[in-house]
Structure 1
Amino acid sequence: MGLKETIKATLKEAELYKSQGLLNEARQKYNKVAQLIENNAQIPNSKSLLDSVKKKMKALDDSHLRVVSAPTTPVMSEKAQNLIKELFTFSKDSDKASLALEGAISLAKFGQYHRAIEEFKKLLSDENVRIAAAKNIIKCYYEFVSIDKAVDEYRAWKSSSLFSPVQLEKVLGFLAGLIEKSGKSFDLDKVEESAETVLMPDEAVEEILDISSVGISLEKGVKSGSEIELDVSFQAGNVISVIISSKEKELIDNLKIGVKLNNVNFYSPIAIFRGSGIISASTKIDSGPKKGDYCLDIKVTNI
């Protein structure tokens, strides 16, 4: 096994251990990767990669002795939930379904996943946003309930006639990435191809890849030059949403609305792409388990 393959395999092992709560074992694997990088300076982007691994190690150290209980979902009135949908729906020229999708995503960002799932399910009948709605339902179950519930939902869709084989294949690909991240395994049969494949409206246009995380390099400040990796919470087309902790003041100050991000690594389940984006929205979360944190929307301009 070559050096690149060894590093990738060891990182996968570390993520698997971490997902199962085996923090000591995960740290040992991350440490092994760090040593491999330090001893092989010829590795492309070795500094950025090493910084990313060390950040993961520090996160493990910080959480090792801390017992984290799952935060309760904030209870909001229906009126408050409707207000969130209106306030955090930024598109002006989108069609009705796309606006409804964006509003549902806004609810999910604030932890109102029960209502968000209800809104997403209403959109499954619209072929133009069906795949996006389905992916967000799966993401909500994964983030707020369990990967098992997400798998159950997919199986129910597969048994129905609502989704075309091509649409199911796309949803399954998205679900597979989350299953791998969870460290669990499920017996999911491949989608059977239909005798005659007919492109649906949302299949006729090439979709942007599902992005699981982004790596941003700041151009100034203490962290300038090093890559900061942020997990993607939700995605609607070419707009991705990330949550930044209120403790990351320097990062928040540097990522204001309108800031162009020229060197961004977009991490997808199948590859890493270099591209660019722009901060299109920045919102301070005023309620719920992420109160005080910031939700940033990044519009992907090139990938």
Structure 2
Amino acid sequence: MEKIAIVTDSLSDIPEDLIKTYGIFVVPLTINIDGKSYKDGVDIEKEEFYKLLREGKMPTTTQASPVEFMEVFEDLLKSFDYVIAIILTSKFSGTYQSAVIARDMVDKNRIEVIDSRHFTLGNGMLVLKAAKMAVEGASKEEIVSTVYETIPRIRGIMVFDSLDYLYRGGRLSRTQSIIGGILNVKPILTNEDGELKVIDKVRGQKKAIRWIIDYMKNTGIDFAEREVGLIHTDKEEFLNEIEAALRSELGITRFIRSQAGCGIGTHAGPDAAGVFFEEK
């Protein structure tokens, strides 16, 4: 049986217990705050990071470098037959390109690098699917094929308090970001082929949850048998309300719950939450 290592970046926001369970290897991005640099998920705790964010600090992120990926790839190929790296959307960060450069320098034949076209748990759910298949003994070709087939089926709905962080980080235009400044208006965003798009706005958390439920109902999916990803930046009470509504109205019982790391938190701000699922 082939030994296959699954690699991702820290912006996949996979819960730590699942990273350990499935033996996933995570390459961290760098977070820069007040002239200091930290490895996402390594050198700074989420609690400390969000405290700084709420105090008005404006961090930036730096993509993982080719050298960092090279070190990981070279090390893994000593004990694995193949490496499959599933990286956040290339439209959000240069991290994917760093992984491609590293692959070309280490071993093109034994390393596959996939642009997931997603970020946070959208990417994380693809990584988890690949990691589960690897543990169950699937071949490299089967895993890669399944990931590519699944990419267009992953849907993410994200509710923000403010779009200022996305604007300052260059991920939204000023025009798109303005609606987030209106009192109690919650912008709703989704991922379209690797880019964030504002698709609606509602007033207040309860209407935001109603919007999510209605959107998911309109897909026609029987969610009772599906696993759904839930994520928040620093607003767990909001996530709990979303989960309760999903349980009662859609019969969902299986969740992947996560708090976004510093990388996603830098761009989303401290009061965002999201729901991720796979369509038919």
Tell me the TM-score normalized by structure 2. Answer: 0.34
Q: Which has the higher contact order (CA 8 A, sep 6+)?
A: 2
Structure 1 length-normalised TM: 0.32
